Amino acid sequence: MTTSASSVGVIGLGSMGMGAAQSCIRAGLPTYGFDINPGALEALHHAGAKAVAVSAIELASQLDCLVLLVVNAAQVNAILFGEQGVAPHLRPGTAVMISSTMSAADAIAIEQQLNQYQLLMLDAPVSGGAAKAAAGVMTVMASGSDEAFARLQPVLDAVAGKVYRIGDQIGLGATVKVIHQLLAGVHIAAGAEAMAMAARAGIPLELMYDVVTNAAGNSWMFENRMKHVVDGDYTPLSAVDIFVKDLNLVADTAKALKFPTPLASTALNMFTSASNAGYGKEDDSAVIKIFAGIALPGVSKE
């Protein structure tokens, strides 16, 4: 348990960031929330945030820790170092937890820029989805200095069910997350292929789903995402385009390592095809829509 109530700012109040911010509030941490979505700001204000705002600049000096839960490295760089970047306004020694999925090279470059402002960085991607974020039990795969871990311990206690300390070198956490996303993307793509084949064979998808989730072929991703297919609900919890991005990160990492990833490459082609067909903003389970000649619940035939 923490002995001090460190003030924490959370930038990016989407499904993961909102859950993390609310978990910090429940843990008794003075919590500030930042997002361009007024609805998200209002929701966090009602949840007990100390303050909310579109920009973190005016409140930056009040923060001991800053957590970024945005989509990619480009957004992180814009938020920290752009024309309206917050990094110059944070007090020296402030710990910045970067929880976006990005390459190791991007993480290292961000740390180098943070060092110019005497700011600490924890390379700390997260996993678990909206439900685990809301419950404060995300999995965090983190690398960074002992000082960064110590400064962010109250936040990690609040938001995580499991924290993996990968090492002290920035970029290691990012690499572990990229490898994790290889599995996540392949599992969704494989689940979609199996359910599409069941549809083609005339097997009721609800029955196929029930069989798999009670047998050895199940995975967390199959159980979670293929339920969306059964329900015919492609409301985006994690979009197709997210896996286009993440599986491209897998491909870039594999290229740097001179390592073959044939299954990840196939999954990337499937998600890219789905995005190209106009499903990029739909839930990532919509990758199943690339298969022709099948009837899916809730999907009208063209």
Among 155, 170, 185, give the residue marking a domain's end.
Answer: 170
Last residue of some domain: 132, 154, 170?
170
In sequence order, the 6+-apart residues with CB closer than 8 A to the CB of 31 are: 7, 8, 9, 10, 21, 24, 25, 44, 48, 49, 50
Residue with tokens 């760089």: 77
- The verdict on residue 3 lying in a domain is no
Q: Round to whole Å and give the CA distance between 237 and 239.
A: 6
Same-domain status, 218 and 97: no
Other C-beta atoms closer than 10 Å to the C-beta of 152 total 28
Query: Number of structural domains, the chain?
Result: 2
Catalytic positions, written as ranges: 177
Q: Which helix (H) or strand (E) holds 98?
A: strand 95-98
Burial class of 4 by CB neighbour count within 10 A (0 to 12, 13 to 18, 19+): exposed
Judgement on whether residues 191 and 166 belong to the same structural domain of the protein: no
Domain that holds residue 39: 8-170
Determine, yes or no, domain membership for 298: no
**Residue 61: count of CB within 10 angstroms of its CB:** 10
pLDDT the model gives residue 302:
54
Which CATH number goes with the domain that contains 31? Answer: 3.40.50.720
Give the Cα separation of 209 and 230 in Å (integer).
8
Sequence letter at residue 289: K
Decide if 178 contacts 166 (C-beta within 8 A): no
Query: Do 90 and 109 lie in a common domain?
Result: yes
Q: pLDDT, tens digit, for every residue of 131-167?
A: 899 999 999 999 999 999 999 999 999 999 999 999 9
CB 95 within 8 A of CB 151: yes
Whether residue 104 is contained in a domain is answered as yes
Which candidate, 186, 188, 132, places its Cα nearest to that of 159?
132
pLDDT in tens, 5-56: 689 999 999 989 999 999 999 999 999 999 999 999 999 999 999 999 999 9
